[in-house]
Structures are given as structure tokens and as C-alpha cells.
Structure 1
């Protein structure tokens, strides 16, 4: 019996699911079952009743849950007080990031954070905005970093960085020599979109709608599930796309792709940090949120968290 098993036990009780606990803790379901069985063997009684539809905590489990809550809360307080005394931040930080952020921005941020706090274990999950929101709502992640604003009463949502999107073209395209193109020229282009649930797609749809253009009016020739695939398709001449400048810095520098702006459309957006208001924030999570704001502000491309 150990504190890690108590943490697993509490997560199973909170999620009412072995599989849900496994996802939240980034371990396998058999590992969750093994640890729960070890606790049940220690106490000599069942802590959960299992069936095919749900997991229900037993009376013995409810008694243990009350003590486990107190034990883990006291441990969190001890870590907080010791961190304040020693100035040492330690623990696990699980971050979800949408593709543009996860592939081009956050690895640098996490790397700098780790240099300052080497005893922090950082876990980064990269997927689209829709999936990040779901994982934060399930409390499977400490926080998420996404490309479009999220409206959900269970979440705290704050901007932390500005971004600019541009129209990306092959270098030999007739419009490639222009600094700005008109909205009519954009609509006439064969267009490559990211998949449903992508933050870049949502902001593209929102901004075009503000300019009076629906996605259905675009000549969409492809929908692709990653930024890299989109860039390669544009470079191969299949069409144009709207993409974050963060994602094409290398290609623009090398001259393998060209970016232009749309005269009638504002494509400036904000990146957001999201976290579940019902999830306890450990000292390492609080420190990372503070670091994120400070780091991005120093990069001169962002604004501080409001």
C-alpha cells in the first residue's frame, strides 16, 4: 500500500470508471485494476462493485475515500509549504496543446520551464482543440493550450499569446508576388482546410464569416488532419490555405512557400490557456501558468494573462 495507490483509488472513485481513471492518469487499465486489487487485499474487503456499465463504490470504499481525501490534501499542503520554503517546484505537469501550439510553440516553452524547474516531469499531449477541451473537462489534463476561445462554464479561459494567420501559396502561384489579395481572389482559389475540430479551421471560418463569406463558398479541394500535411499539399501546388505564421517560419525563411494577407479580413487571433475550475491546482500547475504568461510576454508577441 502506498500513496500512489491512494491516488489511483481516488481517481477511480471520482471517475466511476477504471478506464476513465487509466486515461486520466496516463496508465493502462490493467495497471489500475492491479493497484485497486492490492488495496482490497490489504483491507480485506471490496472497495468497488463492478459491472459492465459502471463502477460503484462500496461502504468500505466510502470510508477509505474520506481518509484518502484528507491524506492527499495534507500531502498537497506539505508540498506547497516545502516548495515555498526551498523555492523548489517538483511534481508532474500534464499539458494538452492543439497542433499549431503543440508542434511549434509549446515545446520551447516547456523546455525553458524545465531548465528553471528540473524536478518537474512534463507530459505533453498534442491533438486538436476539440479533443483538448474534452480531456480538460474530464480532468485528464492539468491544463490545455488551444487556438480559439472556448465557452464552457466549467472552464477558466485566459488569453496568453497573440498569433497572426496568413494565406499560404506555392512560390510559383500568380498571386505569390502580392503583399495583399482581395477576398474575391481568395474565394477563387482551390483551398485546403484542416479537419473539423481544429482551432485553425474554426478561426478561419469565424473570420471569413465576419467578412460575409461562408466556408461553403470556398473551393475546398482537401481536408487534412495535420499542419504538416497541409503545408506539403500547398507546396505541391494543390491549393492555398490559411495558417498560423508560427507554423511556417522555416518555409518562409527558406523561400519554399509564400504568404500573403487578405485586405478585407483581420486574421489576428489569440491563443488561450484553459483549465478546469473544479480541478485542484498543484504548485507546479500554478507555477507553469505564471511562467507561461511571463515567458510569452518577454517574447514581445503576446499579452499577459488578464
Structure 2
């Protein structure tokens, strides 16, 4: 059964006249009769009783007509919804954001986006950077905010933040008055560190290994404000992106440059060769 068969039958049933229906459909009357006859043959039922001037719909024809109307109503609704999506009237976007940075850049972006497109819902999942990347690959989320680098062959990459890492020390720490500290000088320190599923964990861990030591981890967390407060309580040291450091208000914490220079660059990522909704494309534009 084809949609065209149902469409032609609906027009014939509407006018109860093959000549009128064929004119509306811009086809010949024999072609219309042949299409409806093929539908009747397929269903093995008579749908219309034809006469010279008018045609009557059978009981079976009424049933087919009712279901055909429902089918075309659903198609019309689908088309409307798709048109709404392209005009950003409705939709849902699934986004993954690392919790350590979620409050820094994105509330204002989300607020502005919501003002312009109030009928689009944004489902935000807080994952560590590594899990954000994995979730984009698996299709759990449409787009994620990840720490660079990521696989450029696998992802579309839209850079949004360029930053660098800084050291946080208690203000009475022996190194607290320095302007620059090398990572090697921190081999005996106790660190407040990041959980393993955060991209920062591997980035900084690998940096320490390259300098010849493994950091001593006192405590692990995903909350940058807790990390800075623990430094302020003189429980250890930590390393955080400069943009996060700029929000630290604890007067007992000193923030110092470290070497070697460690970049912390963020990007919105999407999986290549995967359909991206119109709403998600527009949200990316708000990030950039």
C-alpha cells in the first residue's frame, strides 16, 4: 500500500465524483480509477461503488477513509514539528559539561539562549571531561564541553576558551611569595586533586610524571571551590585554571604561575558524521 493510493482515494471519497477528484489531483480520470482499483485489489474489498454521476463509499471505504485521514494528519503534524525545529520553535538539546567549570561560562550563555528560544529545553549532564568525550562518542549527548586536545578525526571542534593552569598555595606556605614555581619544586607537597574521570587529572598527572615524580594525593574532589577552601585551610596545594582562580576570594590563598606552562583550552565538541539538531547548532553559535 502506498501513500499515493490513500491520497487519491481520499480525494475521490471527498468529492464522490471521479471527474472532480481527478481535476483537483491534476491527473486523468482513468489514472485515478486505476489507482483506486489497485488499492481495492490489494485490500480485496470494494471501497467505492461507482456510477455515472456520483460514487458512494462502502462500509469498508469509510474505515479506510478514517485511517487514511489519521495517517495524513500525522504526516502533517510531523512536517509542522520539523518546520518548527528548523525555526527553533521547539526541541531538546542534550549537553555534557564538566562540573568543575559549569558555573564559570555557561549560565549566562544558557540564559541568553533561553530568552531567544524559550521552547527549547536543554538537558545538562555534569560529567568529567573524559566522560563527556565518551558520551559524545556513544551518542548519549549531542554536544559536550571538553578540554583540548581531543581526536580531531573523530570530533568537530569549536574552541571557546583559552586558559592556563595556576598553583594555589596557603599564604603562609614557604613558596607563597614567589612569582613563578616549577613543578619539580612540588614533589614533596600534598595535593588536593581531581577525580580520575576529569581531563585535568590526566593532564596534570602526566606533567608530574614527565618531571620525574608522582604527586602525593591527599584528597580528590570535583568542586573547585572546595579545593580552594582546603588550600585556604592549609591542608595542601592544588592547581586550577586561571579563570577559576580569578573567582577564589579566600584571603589565605595565594595564586602563582607555574612552569612548564600548561594550557587549559576548552571546546564544544560534536561527533563527526552524526546528525546534529538545528537547536544544537544554534546553541553552539551562542558559545562561540
> What's 1:255 paired with?
251
Secondary structure of the residue that 2:248 maps to in structure 1? helix
> What's 2:220 paired with?
223
Distance 1:147 1:215, change over 3 A: farther
In the alignment, is the contact (CA less than 8 A) between 1:200 and 1:244 conserved in 2? no
CA RMSD of aligned residues (A): 2.7
Secondary structure of the residue that 1:192 maps to in structure 2? strand
**Which TM-score applies when normalising by structure 1?**
0.61
Tell me by how many angstroms 1:72 deviates.
9.9
CA deviation string 1:214-267 (max 9, x = no partner): 552x33333334333322322221211111123233324x524211012x3112
Unmatched 5+ stretches in structure 1:
1-69, 294-306
Distance 1:124 1:171, change over 3 A: same
Report which of the two structures shows the higher radius of gyration computed on alpha carbons: 2
| Counterpart check, 1:268 vs 2:273 | no
Distance 1:260 1:74, change over 3 A: same
Structure 2 Cα separation of the partners of residues 227 and 145 of structure 1: 17
In the alignment, is the contact (CA less than 8 A) between 1:89 and 1:283 conserved in 2? no
1:203-242 → structure 2 map (5 Å cutoff):
203-208=203-208, 212-214=210-212, 216=214, 218-242=215-239
**Which TM-score applies when normalising by structure 2?**
0.65
Distance 1:204 1:126, change over 3 A: same
Secondary structure of the residue that 1:242 maps to in structure 2? strand
| Counterpart check, 1:108 vs 2:89 | no
Tell me by how many angstroms 1:157 deviates.
3.0
In the alignment, is the contact (CA less than 8 A) between 1:180 and 1:260 conserved in 2? yes
Secondary structure of the residue that 1:115 maps to in structure 2? helix
Structure 2 Cα separation of the partners of residues 163 and 110 of structure 1: 21
Secondary structure of the residue that 1:222 maps to in structure 2? strand
| Counterpart check, 1:128 vs 2:125 | no
Size of the alignment, in residue pairs?
214
| Counterpart check, 1:79 vs 2:77 | no
Distance 1:72 1:191, change over 3 A: farther
Distance 1:248 1:236, change over 3 A: same
Unmatched 5+ stretches in structure 2:
1-74
1:2-81 → structure 2 map (5 Å cutoff):
74=79, 77-81=82-86
Structure 1 Cα separation of the partners of residues 81 and 144 of structure 2: 22
Structure 2 Cα separation of the partners of residues 97 and 287 of structure 1: 17
> What's 1:244 paired with?
241
Distance 1:115 1:177, change over 3 A: farther
In the alignment, is the contact (CA less than 8 A) between 2:99 and 2:222 conserved in 1? no
Tell me by how many angstroms 1:102 deviates.
1.5
Structure 2 Cα separation of the partners of residues 90 and 167 of structure 1: 44
Secondary structure of the residue that 1:136 maps to in structure 2? helix
Structure 1 Cα separation of the partners of residues 213 and 96 of structure 2: 28
